[in-house]
Structure 1
Amino acid sequence: MSNSFVRTTMLAQEPPPSGEKGVGPWIRRNLLATPKDIVLTLLAVTFLAWALPHAINWLFVQAVWTGPDRTFCATTVQGGIQPDGWSGACWAFVNAKFDQIIYGGYPLDERWRPTLVGILFVLLLVPMLIPSVPRKGLNALLLFIVLPVVSFILLYGGFGLEIVETPRWGGLMVTLVLSFVGIAASFPLGILLALGRRSHMPVIRMVSVIFIEVVRGVPLITVLFMASVVLPLFLPAGWTVDKLLRAIVGVSIFASAYMAEVIRGGLQAIPKGQFEGADSLGLGYWQKMRLIILPQAIKLVIPGIVNTFIGMFKDTSLVSIISMYDLLGIVRFLFIDPNWATAVTPLTGLIFAGFVFWLFCFGMSRYSAFMERHLDTGHKR
């Protein structure tokens, strides 16, 4: 019997239909698919056509980029050199105050120390975030255990370095310190609280539930206020707790309660068969959680975890309630400088602070999306 009808080579892959690729089909499919989409698209385009030229003109074209004082960002009526009716951003203010925005009141001659800490942080964080880089255990040990100790010595001083008290810290440096320590502390604490809330031991379950519900039931400002003002009242006479440490503890406790509920949602999504399969292998409770359950649960709730991290990063601006100057706090504090008192200085400073916050939050969001795709082994498209 002849097999001549059987093809011995594979056909070349056919290109997609011409009507389904390119900019035109994408626009028709996503922006003009229905009459409602057409109306909304036209309204959005009209708004952008009106707003973008004004925004670009104010932010870049008419902006002042350099200058030693307020006269470069004020009109002649206000005692400056700009013509009456001029309107543009005062990036000269940000340029002049950039070091204070980054380091706060940290001594000028010692700013190499936070810079070095930042470099070490980046060098350890980048390989931790790249899945293909080996030795993640050693990397995690250096990043979460060794680096905080080294950073504290470098930032605070001692061992031959000048002592720099934490009230002199400020700016982006404080925001990153609060965020990193808060994330590093709240994540494992949130996991323990989630496991405690699902525990079969009544005391542990009750303590976990009370902690989570009480902390989630009050605003972060209240937690910070309690940590800064009320806590010292319960300490013996002459004892005190560093204000930055109080803020770190308050932020970490607050974030851990929300993290616990996110992790608990992931644990509840794991099929019962996974628990039974781990038990059938003879694994202990912690082995079962560490090797079988938690890796699956955490993978399912990556968006919620990152959302909590992003919220905590932005909430660090609330430490101004206890007289700490983070990124937003130091920018607002610098508005009182009479050498830069103009009508456009506050808006420019707030836009810059907002852009920095957005940059970090957007980076966390994009990395979250990358990790979701990387770990999506069960539903490959």
Structure 2
Amino acid sequence: MAMEDVTGRPPPKNQMRMSPVVWARRNLFSSIGNTILTLVCLYLLWLAIPPFLDFTIFSAVWSGTTREACLGDGKGACWPFVWANIGQFIYGRYPQDELWRVNIVFALGILAIVPALIPSAPAKRFNLIFLLVIYPLIALVLLAGDRPGLRPVPTSEWGGLLVTLVVALTGIVVSLPLGIVLALGRRSSMPAIRMLCIVFIEFWRGVPLITVLFMASVMLPLFLPEGMSPDNLLRCLVGVALFSSAYMAEVVRGGLQAIPAGQYEAARAVGLTYWQAMGQVVLPQALRHVIPGIVNTFIGLFKDTTLVLIVGIFDLLGQVRAQLSDPSWTVPQGALTGYIFAALVFWVFCFGMSQYSNFMERKLNAARER
């Protein structure tokens, strides 16, 4: 049968770009139930969005140096409270004359992370080694000090966004490789290894994170030799990393189970060892399948960093709450303004991770279709 030439023909109607009216009619008002649900949602948005915008933008106070600028009837968010305390929100009680060390750590982190997130960036292997090995050591030396020319700064003086990023990035960097190892161990053919990984995963998944932090901060020193007391922040970092690695292991295990058995058999048939087959054939496909789950775990971990406030570590949210007790900025709308600011910062980071996940999914799907 001769092939028909369709060059120059318009795309099928279902693939043509729909106008907003047609899209709304098909997706929002396609039936009586959808129409009612759409109208209810629009009404709820009308009740919530205008008052929120009025409080945060239109009736908000944007300038001022004292609390008196925010006092009065009809005034919204007190943004001068945020501007006056922005240093505490970012650095906590880190010494003012040593803030250059934190700024260098932030700048190096950006310079290391951005190329790692760009798929076409050159020297990817060196970049990952710097990000995972060299950069943490540099950050530790600069932040903690206690080196020639660097004044020691105890972690009790760290706070704000600095602590949030330290806890979140440590958990993310440690949980992914450890989760992969645990997922492989749970699928191992060796009963001892498999049982050990199962016990580890189920134990950490069955305990709330807040309990883990309490145990790490309060109970752990009771089981250590006298005079041995690890840093409080270090204990929380270890607890968060172990906790998140258990959840990451289950996400990765789901990806491994989605790979057909023929992939394993084909890899072994061409002479690849177990680790070669996993590293070159199976794991790349498995991790591609579970990118949404991995990023979802990262986002949950980033938001769970606020729980370190329970054990006396002032992250961003904890620092906002601490600054609310400042009598020079005690205003009725101060608490709501501070919480909105913290929520906006968390949303920016979480939304960024979500959008990067979508970008990688589209890129990998396009590469697979080619």
Q: Indicate the TM-score class for this superposition, using the shorter chain for normalisation.
A: over 0.9
Match of 1:238 in 2: 227
Deviation, 1:371, is: 0.8
Q: How does 1:169-318 map to 2 (within 5 A)?
A: 169-318=158-307
Aligned partners of 1:183, 1:380: CA distance in 2, in Å?
A: 30
Letter in 2 for 1:123: L
TM-score normalised by the chain length of structure 1: 0.92
Letter in 1 for 2:159: G
Question: In the alignment, does 2:340 pair up with 1:329?
Answer: no
Letter in 2 for 1:64: V
Conserved in 1, the CA contact under 8 Å of 2:61 and 2:75? Answer: no
SS, match of residue 313 in structure 1 = helix
Q: State which of 123, 128, 132 in structure 1 corresponds to 2:116.
A: 128
Deviation, 1:43, is: 2.0
SS, match of residue 214 in structure 2 = helix
Match of 1:51 in 2: 48
Letter in 1 for 2:27: N
Match of 1:338 in 2: 327
Question: In the alignment, does 2:124 pair up with 1:141?
Answer: no
Conserved in 2, the CA contact under 8 Å of 1:199 and 1:205? Answer: yes
Larger Rg: 1
Q: How does 1:52-91 map to 2 (within 5 A)?
A: 52-74=49-71, 82=72, 85-91=73-79
Conserved in 2, the CA contact under 8 Å of 1:310 and 1:361? Answer: yes
From the superposition, tell whether residues 124 and 13 of structure 1 become closer, same or farther in structure 2 (CA, over 3 Å): farther
Conserved in 2, the CA contact under 8 Å of 1:105 and 1:169? Answer: yes
Aligned partners of 1:189, 1:365: CA distance in 2, in Å?
A: 22
1:262-299 CA-to-partner distances (Å, cap 9, x unmatched) read 01111111101111111111211111111111111111
Q: How many residues matched?
A: 367
SS, match of residue 38 in structure 2 = helix
SS, match of residue 66 in structure 1 = coil
Aligned partners of 1:194, 1:287: CA distance in 2, in Å?
A: 16
Of 30-39 and 142-151, the range deviating more from structure 2:
30-39
Deviation, 1:117, is: 0.8
Conserved in 2, the CA contact under 8 Å of 1:65 and 1:95? Answer: no
Conserved in 2, the CA contact under 8 Å of 1:179 and 1:313? Answer: yes
Letter in 1 for 2:300: G
1:189-217 CA-to-partner distances (Å, cap 9, x unmatched) read 00111111111111111111111101100
Question: In the alignment, does 2:8 pair up with 1:12?
Answer: yes
Match of 1:79 in 2: none
Deviation, 1:377, is: 5.0
From the superposition, tell whether residues 41 and 338 of structure 1 become closer, same or farther in structure 2 (CA, over 3 Å): same
1:114-169 CA-to-partner distances (Å, cap 9, x unmatched) read 11111111111111111111221111001111100011111111231111111100
TM-score normalised by the chain length of structure 2: 0.95
Aligned partners of 2:66, 2:307: CA distance in 1, in Å?
A: 30
Letter in 1 for 2:8: A
Conserved in 2, the CA contact under 8 Å of 1:104 and 1:325? Answer: yes
Of 371-380 and 355-364, the range deviating more from structure 2:
371-380
Match of 2:101 in 1: 113
Letter in 2 for 1:115: N
Letter in 2 for 1:271: P
From the superposition, tell whether residues 274 and 17 of structure 1 become closer, same or farther in structure 2 (CA, over 3 Å): closer
From the superposition, tell whether residues 6 and 341 of structure 1 become closer, same or farther in structure 2 (CA, over 3 Å): closer
Deviation, 1:51, is: 3.1
Unaligned ranges ≥5, structure 2: none
SS, match of residue 111 in structure 1 = helix
From the superposition, tell whether residues 102 and 6 of structure 1 become closer, same or farther in structure 2 (CA, over 3 Å): closer
Letter in 1 for 2:130: L
Aligned partners of 1:263, 1:99: CA distance in 2, in Å?
A: 39
SS, match of residue 319 in structure 2 = helix
Aligned partners of 1:10, 1:192: CA distance in 2, in Å?
A: 52
Conserved in 1, the CA contact under 8 Å of 2:155 and 2:233? Answer: yes
